[in-house]
Structure 1
Amino acid sequence: MSEADTRGQGGAPPSARRALPLLGPDAERAPRGGRAERADAAQNRRRILAAAADLIATRGVETLSMDEVARVAGVGVGTVYRRFRDRAGLLYAVLDDRERDFQTAFLQGPPPLGPGADPLDRVRAFLHALADRTEDQMDLLLMAESDSPDARFNDGSYELYRMHLETLIARIRPSADAAYVADALLAPLAANLFRHQRRTRGMSLERVKAGLDDLVAGLTAS
């Protein structure tokens, strides 16, 4: 399977709950009607999402309010509600926005995360980058993954991650069960386990990444 094969039609099956199209970092999503977004509306969207992301990072997802987001973004609160309907819609939009940047980085960005590096280095870089993203958005990801027991696996992003890793694993160790190993490498990055390790057990982010490196090292074992 080639690198292009991992992208498919936007990098995820159309039946997935949030199958996100792969876009460039400055691309704007068209509204549901399919019409192009006005420049002022696109600017407001970027400001609102940036404000929400900053507030989540500094204060936590639990305290996020639409009024505060509007104040920080410098827009009317009605604009925030018209665009995202409610707090849950805003939170998922923040996730989707960051997800597009992440997908662009590992599918099209510079090596070792992007194409052009040794497959083993790419697997390590991908898992480290995903650990950083999980750290930055831990509570938000936990909320998204708590929708249902299968929420994490029904997400189009997870399928893209799995396919990406499966492709690289098959190149590193052709005899491996690449599909199983890909799931196994993603399992430690589930938000609930990640939060338990970081906040309950007190593991540092560096320790988590070192543990992921130990798992990846098994791919080269004789």
Structure 2
Amino acid sequence: MLGQAPPERADAARNRQKIIECAERMLAECGGHQLSLDEVARVAGVGVGTVYRRFGDRAGLLFALVEDSERRFQESFMTGPPPLGPGTGPSSSLSPGAGAEVDPQARVAAFMHALLDHQAGLEKLLLLLEKSSPDARFSGPYPLYHTHLATLLAKARPGADPHFLADALLSSAAVTLVTFLRTRRALTLDQIKSRFTDLVLSICAGPPLPAEEPTAQPPR
């Protein structure tokens, strides 16, 4: 989702904005149960085919509703200031040495905290998105989150499987689970962030792991 939107005709841009504003208004007034593409097209006064060609399905429309917020979040961890973004930063408990490159462990913790804040601001939309498509959690921005975390974890815990650890951390931050922790476990967002700091420390604080031996091939 990061980057510039593809160019489009002025009338197509107007229709897109009209559809998004209509969907936002329907969500605010009626909740998500009436947010079908057919109904959005009817209320927006555009052709049903226009909506389907532009967004594909309900999940595509919901992704469009979070696009601006998602782009700002992605920019913050890809190019923003440390410890969330790259570059150099002041010393801290997780990043010793003023002016040194930010410890990847510090960036993992900062990313998880920022992700929780980002999702909290879009909670209702993200819950609808997961209900709309069984694969929604793993589409959209998920591959970028995974690649970002796996890159940092490979530096923070050499020898471990960074791809598995990235998936494990992202699964722990799933909006459905975080909503459960806030409503059923009565944890505040700050308390959940503190638990994630402990989780990141426990993942990254261990000694470097030896490289896995290649699996022996059975004799032919």
The two structures have a TM-score, normalised by structure 1, of 0.66
C-alpha deviation, 1:126, in angstroms: 1.0
For 2:44, which of 77, 82, 95 is the aligned residue? 77
Do structure 1's residue 114 and structure 2's residue 85 form an aligned pair? yes
1:145–1:152 contact (8 Å) kept in structure 2: yes
1:57–1:136 contact (8 Å) kept in structure 2: no
Instruction: Provide closer, same or farther for how the CA distance between residues 156 and 40 of structure 1 changes in structure 2, counting only shifts above 3 A.
Output: closer
Matches within 5 A, 1:71-220: 77-78=44-45, 84=51, 88=58, 89-117=60-88, 118=102, 119-146=104-131, 147-148=133-134, 150-153=135-138, 155-218=139-202, 219-220=204-205
2:18–2:44 contact (8 Å) kept in structure 1: no
2:78–2:86 contact (8 Å) kept in structure 1: yes
Which has the larger Rg? 2
Q: Distance in 2 between matches of 1:167 and 1:120?
A: 11
Q: Which has the higher contact order (CA 8 A, sep 6+)?
A: 1
Q: Distance in 2 between matches of 1:201 and 1:127?
A: 20
Which segments of 5 or more consecutive residues in structure 1 lack a partner in the other structure? 1-19, 31-35, 71-75
Which segments of 5 or more consecutive residues in structure 2 lack a partner in the other structure? 89-101, 208-220
1:57–1:137 contact (8 Å) kept in structure 2: no
Instruction: Provide closer, same or farther for how the CA distance between residues 82 and 114 of structure 1 changes in structure 2, counting only shifts above 3 A.
Output: farther
Alignment RMSD, CA only?
3.5
Instruction: Provide closer, same or farther for how the CA distance between residues 161 and 191 of structure 1 changes in structure 2, counting only shifts above 3 A.
Output: same
Moved more, 132-141 or 78-87: 78-87
1:48–1:80 contact (8 Å) kept in structure 2: no
Q: Distance in 2 between matches of 1:50 and 1:189?
A: 29
Percent identity reads 43
Aligned to 2:85, what secondary structure does the other structure show? coil
2:157–2:206 contact (8 Å) kept in structure 1: no
C-alpha deviation, 1:131, in angstroms: 0.5
Instruction: Provide closer, same or farther for how the CA distance between residues 221 and 55 of structure 1 changes in structure 2, counting only shifts above 3 A.
Output: farther
- Amino acid in the other structure paired with 1:190: A
Aligned to 1:179, what secondary structure does the other structure show? helix
C-alpha deviation, 1:138, in angstroms: 1.7
C-alpha deviation, 1:98, in angstroms: 2.9
Aligned to 1:126, what secondary structure does the other structure show? helix
Moved more, 101-110 or 130-139: 101-110
For residues 90-127 of structure 1, the C-alpha deviation after alignment (integer angstroms, 9 at most, x for no partner) is 32311334333322222122222221151122111211
Residue-pair matches, total? 186
Moved more, 201-210 or 50-59: 50-59
Aligned to 2:8, what secondary structure does the other structure show? coil
The two structures have a TM-score, normalised by structure 2, of 0.66
